[in-house]
């Protein structure tokens, strides 16, 4: 497009509840938002799947490749040292972002999924035996279900599932009742990727800790929207993925309390995670390097650091206020569309609106709104047990990022009205 079209979708008077948040200026940082789809301005409402990248992230990564690139922790040469400093500064930024006690508590992985597999595998080796229990919830993404099922099938552990109510609220009393003498870990999401439910995570952690049980939190859908302080939460593990936080793909983050990480064996073996190797015996580095076998996501860590700087420059509170206003507006606007039903109306939600429509399959909805330039995700959102609990095969999901506007919600609503006309 087409600056005219871009401007149409940018902030209009009264666009934002947070006056300090200048969404037009923010949109100018995202080059992709000037694209057209089927001749219409792109309306990107799929940030929960993956967020778009600001110029600051793209440039930080290009700059690294152009001016300061080599492998890290390996070379005495200048370029390797400079790259190592930039890479480790990405780790420091993540530590600051989460308010971790130290950068040594930050492990870089390939994505969030790998971080879950790392904890499941290593925690199981160190701490789980047949009959032990791990508590997860109905709201979980497959990434926090399947790795535990693999452990269950290997070791004979038991998975206990926290139920939800019909609105998608996490049921705290039922959760507490599941905690018992065999519970060795609680692993729950902070924000549901399908419903947007915000889980009362501090209470979840406190109830577990009162019984000496550690807690792993899936923060993938939380960190782009909510200020997270792992020390204030007292989370034992906290996982997120770079690409939903306006950073690159190819990098995930596992925060783990130092003492806990030290108790875990390595995840994978290979270069860089060792202190010494002979054919008889290998000794391992301390965390986080013990868990980072092979060449790490070097430029991705630099890009993630730039994304964190970007989010910090806008301020998490301002972002949250903007997105809360947007979600409220979207829920009010979409419920006016005939034949549309919201799926997930929990008391506290973040940035996600899932819905179904009479007579129209979510894939049809997604295809039709795409023709209007609107990108939403449709399907089971990698949360099939949640779909089963809610009695739906799939939903359509609009998810908002810091660059979205109320005008874009209007474009979605108009497109949904035409879905109703076609199928209703």
Q: Is 117 in the site for ligand C6P (CB under 6 A)?
A: no
Residue whose CB is less far from ligand C6P, 11 or 51: 51
Residue 368's H or E segment, with its range, is helix 362-371
Residue choice 138, 189, 378, 404 for contact with ligand C6P (CB under 6 A): 189
Residues 122-181 that bind ligand C6P (CB under 6 A): 141, 143
**Closer Cβ to ligand C6P, 68 or 304, answer by number:** 304
Decide: is 121 part of the binding site for ligand C6P (CB under 6 A).
no
Q: Is 49 in the site for ligand C6P (CB under 6 A)?
A: yes
State the DSSP string of 238-275: EEEEGGGGTS-SS-EEEEE-HHHHHHSPPSS-STTSEE
Binding pattern for the stretch 366-385 against ligand C6P, x by CB under 6 A and - elsewhere: -----------x---xx---
The question of whether 382 is a catalytic residue gets the answer yes
When computed from its CA atoms, the radius of gyration of the chain, rounded to whole angstroms, is 22
Sequence-separated (6 or more) residues with CB below 8 Å from residue 248: 53, 57, 61, 242, 297, 299, 300, 303, 304, 307
Among 52, 241, 345, 395, binds ligand C6P (CB under 6 A): 241
* Cβ at position 149, least distance to ligand C6P in Å: 15
Pairing type for strands 237-241 and 215-218 reads: parallel
Quick note: the x/- pattern for ligand C6P over 209-228, rule CB under 6 A, is: ---------x-xx-------
Under the binding rule (CB under 6 A), the answer on residue 354 touching ligand C6P is no
Separation between Cα atoms, residue 79 and residue 124, nearest integer Å = 39
Please tell me the distance from the alpha carbon of residue 261 to that of residue 363, in angstroms, as a whole number: 42
Q: In what order do the strands lie in the sheet with 352-357?
A: 340-343, 352-357, 395-399, 377-379
The answer to the question of residue 264 lying near ligand C6P (CB under 6 A) is no
Q: Can you give the binding site for ligand C6P, defined by CB under 6 A? A: 48-49, 111-113, 141, 143, 189, 193, 218, 220-221, 241, 252, 377, 381-382
Catalytic residue list: 382
């Amino acid at each position: 497009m087409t600056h005219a079209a871009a401007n149409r979708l940018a902030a209009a008077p009264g666009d934002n509840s947070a006056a300090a948040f200048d969404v037009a200026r923010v949109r100018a940082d995202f080059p992709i938002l000037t694209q057209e789809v089927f001749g219409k301005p792109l309306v990107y409402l799929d940030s929960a799947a993956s967020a778009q990248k600001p110029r600051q992230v793209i440039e930080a990564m290009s700059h690294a490749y152009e001016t300061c690139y080599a492998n890290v922790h390996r070379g005495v040469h200048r370029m390797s040292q400079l790259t190592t400093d930039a890479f480790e500064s990405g780790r420091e930024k993540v530590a600051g972002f989460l308010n971790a006690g130290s950068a040594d508590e930050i492990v870089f992985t390939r994505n969030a999924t790998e971080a879950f597999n790392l904890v499941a595998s290593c925690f199981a080796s160190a701490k789980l035996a047949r009959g032990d229990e791990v508590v997860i919830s109905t709201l979980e993404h497959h990434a926090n279900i399947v790795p535990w099922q693999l452990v269950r099938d290997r070791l004979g552990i038991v998975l206990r599932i926290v139920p939800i109510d019909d609105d998608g609220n996490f049921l705290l009393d039922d959760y507490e009742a599941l905690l018992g003498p065999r519970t060795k870990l609680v692993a729950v999401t902070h924000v549901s990727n399908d419903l947007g439910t915000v889980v009362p995570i501090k209470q979840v952690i406190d109830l577990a800790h009162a019984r000496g049980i550690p807690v792993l939190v899936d923060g993938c859908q939380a960190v782009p929207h909510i200020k997270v302080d792992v020390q204030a939460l007292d989370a034992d593990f906290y996982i997120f993925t770079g690409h939903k936080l306006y950073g690159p793909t190819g990098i995930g983050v596992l925060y783990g309390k130092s003492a806990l990480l030290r108790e875990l064996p390595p995840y994978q073996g290979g270069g860089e995670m060792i202190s010494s190797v002979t054919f008889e015996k290998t000794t391992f580095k301390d965390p986080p390097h013990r868990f980072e076998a092979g060449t790490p996501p070097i430029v991705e860590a630099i890009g993630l650091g730039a994304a964190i700087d970007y989010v910090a420059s806008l301020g998490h509170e301002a972002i949250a206020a903007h997105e809360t206003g947007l979600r409220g507006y979207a829920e009010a606007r979409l419920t006016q569309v005939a034949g549309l039903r919201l799926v997930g109306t929990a008391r506290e939600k973040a940035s996600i609106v899932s819905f179904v429509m009479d007579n129209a399959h979510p894939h049809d909805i997604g295809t039709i709104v795409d023709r209007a330039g609107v990108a939403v995700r449709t399907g089971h959102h990698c949360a099939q047990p949640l779909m089963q609990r809610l009695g739906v095969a799939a939903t359509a999901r609009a998810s908002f990022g810091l660059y979205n506007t109320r005008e874009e919600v209007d474009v979605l609503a108009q497109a949904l009205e035409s879905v109703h006309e076609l199928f209703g």
